[in-house]
Every structure is written in C-alpha cells, then in structure tokens.
Amino acid sequence: DQQVKQNSPSLSVQEGRISILNCDYTNSMFDYFLWYKKYPAEGPTFLISISSIKDKNEDGRFTVFLNKSAKHLSLHIVPSQPGDSAVYFCAASSNDYKLSFGAGTTVTVRA
C-alpha cells in the first residue's frame, strides 16, 4: 500500500520562479518527513526535513510546510535554478529507522 503519494509526476518551471512540490500521506502515525533530491545515476541526496511538531522549516531557498490535519506537505524552492532540475522524493517515518517514499516528482527548470 502506498502510504506516501506524490500525485504530480512532473513539474516544469521557469528559472527564477517558485517551484511547489506536493506530497500527501495516509498514515497518521508518521511523525517525521523528509525531502530528497535525486540526479540520474546517483543516490538520493537529503534536502530538508520537518518534525510533526512543526508546521514550517526553512533552509536557504528550500521551505517545507506541513499540514497535519490535511496529511499534506509541500516543498517550496525559491528562486528555482537550473541545477534544481532533478527528481524530488517525499519520505516519511513513523519510527526512527524505516522511510516510506513517494514515487517522486521530476522537476525541470527552464532557462
């Protein structure tokens, strides 16, 4: 069963604009959420995370928002840069060892 869902398989955005990636989850026991970025032929790279006790976490150009009541989180990238073109995975954990991942969203930043 897919407990973490990324319903948009792709996103195209112009350089300098905002990228917004969405993620929904079904397991109310999830208490920690992460975003990873993946380039082709490489492993996922950790980007940013958020605990369920918070509703926002910011790191440079990246901000993650968590809406627990809606079981929804989003990643904002501002401003988008060409190097941001990659696959982005949302992941969640209900313990401190197993991550459940979404299927990913491919972001393309246009010059």
Interface contacts to another protein, rule CB under 8 A? 4, 32, 34, 36, 41-46, 49, 89, 91, 93, 96-104
CB nearer to another protein: pick between 45 and 67: 45
Closest distance of CB 39 from another protein, Å: 10
Closest distance of CB 61 from another protein, Å: 19
Closest distance of CB 8 from another protein, Å: 14
CB nearer to another protein: pick between 3 and 65: 3
Closest distance of CB 103 from another protein, Å: 5
CB nearer to another protein: pick between 62 and 79: 62
Q: Is 76 left (phi over 0), alpha (psi -120 to 50) or beta?
A: beta
- What does the H/E/C string look like for the chain? CCCEECCCCEEEEECCCCEEEEEEECCCCCCEEEEEEECCCCCCEEEEEEECCCCEEEECCEEEEEECCCCEEEEEECCCCHHHCEEEEEEEECCCCCCEECCCEEEEEEC
CB nearer to another protein: pick between 60 and 111: 60
